[in-house]
A and B are shown apart, each in its own frame.
Chain A
């Protein structure tokens, strides 16, 4: 009995921590959606692009870890700048769906560029944090929890608290929220739209880089990261597209449910249900609460 309970706890905690990895990806989506009401489908590609660049700097040019990280972050700022200048500004007055499709195109460009520049083979990324159970926790609490999961959880927590404070209490955050609400009105009262967009896309790029490092350390830096990022979509639907706490709660819900379903119900269906279970979960959420747990209610006018 106690063993079963421990096993359940292990599955649950493992799932929750794995969920924070989804949250990290989802955070990038939320940032951009919050500030520009644009759904950035290329976030997954940004994760892949940034972490591949990071690996490329480190492994091909032998640049030390910290410097490579800074360079990759700067590269993401450049990507943000180009996106703002070349994609978003011309599409300023286009409909949401048009911008969404343009970001799908942007994702393709980033994926292609990353592969052209740094090759298609799977790269290993060693952050110095092992993906194995922490001995201390295993000995004292009898739970097998990976050190990488704990790090990801901590990083996610720090970033979310930081971003939450930024949005809530700083002038920049206020500007971001104003732009999201009504870009035209915001720019007419003197909020520099261009700077805001650049800032948000750069921030999303850096968030993508951090998320990519975590995922890369676990699964290797490879193209599959783009598909993994698609899993952030159900997270967003559950948490709400415009809520930073929503991203983390959504990630936790998806991570935990996915693992529990996989372990306890999966065997009856031949396993591997985690491929679609999050999406079906998202559909149920959509039917009952389309704006997500923390999202703002969607009001449409005719």
Chain B
């Protein structure tokens, strides 16, 4: 396929167009219930963004990190303090700066990745998770000396206009996610992403070919933490509407790890698929529990079953499709294509008929 804009082919641009029409026109037109925005769409976008962060460091650079929620907490509390103490920065400015603050933490805790890998790195990144949460918890300044433990997030105001309705917040999340997703795709396609993947596939070989390990790894950690930080800020301000360190505990880190792995390592669309699955599956299970069994099954049992199924899926995917749901989707598409001969004929014809222009 011929690229028509930068390195994007016609198909990519059509996909982008379809996504934009779907999310900007179809969804706001047909979905009127607040529940969908506040409990599904907004957290989905936020968590997908965090999962992209995890993808960058884990899927693309191959560094086993487990501290996404820590960076999200850093981003969320940075956002709170920036809006509180530097109101001139505005919402977007604060969002960017809080992402940068999270990125600084990312660099700090990504440094061990230069020395160690695999499970060792996982332990090193766990330190970031526990340290950041502890720091926020212990120093009152971060929470503006609030004694209740839960702080209400400020309202989102962009250029003097309040964004407080679920739809408006959804649009804010959508805008940020779209911009950052496109950026991530660009990075993954460009030399940055190629360096990441070279390091993932064989770091020693990459280094001998002139890819700087220091630069590539630190860059990946910084960008990953930036994405997580921004996602955390959105998560706190649009979804939770409150800030408490407990919301960003190790469980959330594991959840994001699951989204990343089940969605498909090393793919951007996998982040969205994985986040949707992990988020929607409990909702589905709960509604089955309520509607089919009419609450005969205890809620704690349902959440245990959910955990068992996530674990089983993880094992099954590792055994049969380590590349996750994104790869399943690819295979599915290819199967459909090969099973529809008419489509094949058409593409064959069109490629034959086309003559090179002079």
Contacts and interface: CB of A to CB of B under 8 A. Distances in A.
Interface of A: 39, 41, 86-87, 90-91, 94, 96-102, 104-113, 115-116, 119-120, 227, 230, 233-234, 237, 241, 269-273, 275-276, 279-280, 282-283, 286-287, 290, 300, 302
Given A120-B300, A276-B130, A290 B257 contact: no
Interface stretch (B15-23, B187-195, B304-312): B304-312
Contact of B314 (A105, A233, A275, A279): A105
Contacts of A86: 315
Interface of B: 64, 112, 115-116, 118-120, 122-124, 126-127, 130-131, 133-134, 137-139, 202, 204-205, 250, 254, 257, 261, 300-301, 303-315, 318-319, 322
B319 A90 contact: yes
Given A101-B314, A105-B314, 11 more contacts: A109-B307, A109-B308, A241-B119, A279-B124, A282-B123, A286-B112, A286-B116, A287-B112, A287-B115, A290-B115, A290-B116
A87 B309 CA distance: 15
A170 to B, nearest CB: 28
A97 B134 contact: no
B311 A107 contact: yes
Contact of A302 (B122, B130, B205): B205
A280 B138 contact: no
Contact of B318 (A105, A234, A269, A276): A105
25 contacts: A97-B118, A98-B318, A98-B322, A100-B118, A100-B119, A101-B314, A101-B318, A104-B311, A105-B311, A106-B311, A106-B315, A111-B311, A112-B307, A113-B304, A116-B301, A119-B300, A272-B138, A275-B130, A279-B130, A279-B131, A283-B124, A283-B127, A286-B112, A286-B123, A287-B115
A110 B301 CA distance: 14
Contacts of A290: 115-116, 120
A138 B310 CA distance: 50
Contact of A108 (B115, B131, B300, B311): B311
B304 A116 contact: yes
Contacts of A105: 310-315, 318
A277 to B, nearest CB: 9
A227 B304 contact: no
Contacts of A107: 311
Nearest to A288: B115
Contact of A115 (B115, B307, B309, B315): B307
Contacts of B319: 87, 90-91, 94, 102
Which 3 pairs from chain A and chain B are nearest by CB?
Answer: A105-B314, A108-B311, A112-B307
A81 B166 CA distance: 50
B312 A109 contact: yes
Nearest to B137: A272
Contact of B115 (A91, A110, A275, A286): A286
B300 A109 contact: no
B318 A237 contact: no
Nearest to B114: A287
Contacts of A286: 112, 115-116, 120, 123-124
Main SS class of interface, A: helix
B315 A97 contact: no
B123 to A, nearest CB: 5
B315 A102 contact: yes
A113 B308 contact: yes
B311 A109 contact: yes
A302 B202 contact: yes
- Residue of B126, B205, B309, B315 with highest tally of chain A CB at under 10 A: B315
A285 to B, nearest CB: 10
B123 A233 contact: yes
Contacts of A282: 123-124, 127
A1 to B, nearest CB: 32
A110 B124 CA distance: 25
Contact of A112 (B123, B133, B304, B318): B304
Contacts of A119: 300
Contacts of B303: 115
A16 to B, nearest CB: 22
A279 B126 contact: yes
Contact of B315 (A109, A230, A276): A109
Interface centre among B204, B205, B311, by most A CB within 10 Å?
B311
Contacts of A280: 127, 131
Nearest to B62: A97
Contact of A101 (B130, B133, B261, B307): B261
B147 to A, nearest CB: 14
Contacts of A110: 311
A279 B134 CA distance: 13
Contacts of B261: 101
Contacts of B127: 276, 279-280, 282-283
A230 B122 CA distance: 11
Contacts of A275: 130, 133-134
B354 to A, nearest CB: 43
Contacts of B115: 286-287, 290
A154 to B, nearest CB: 28
A302 B204 contact: yes
B306 A112 contact: yes
Contacts of A96: 118
B265 to A, nearest CB: 9
Contacts of A113: 304, 308
A115 B307 CA distance: 10
B64 A97 contact: yes
Contacts of A270: 138-139
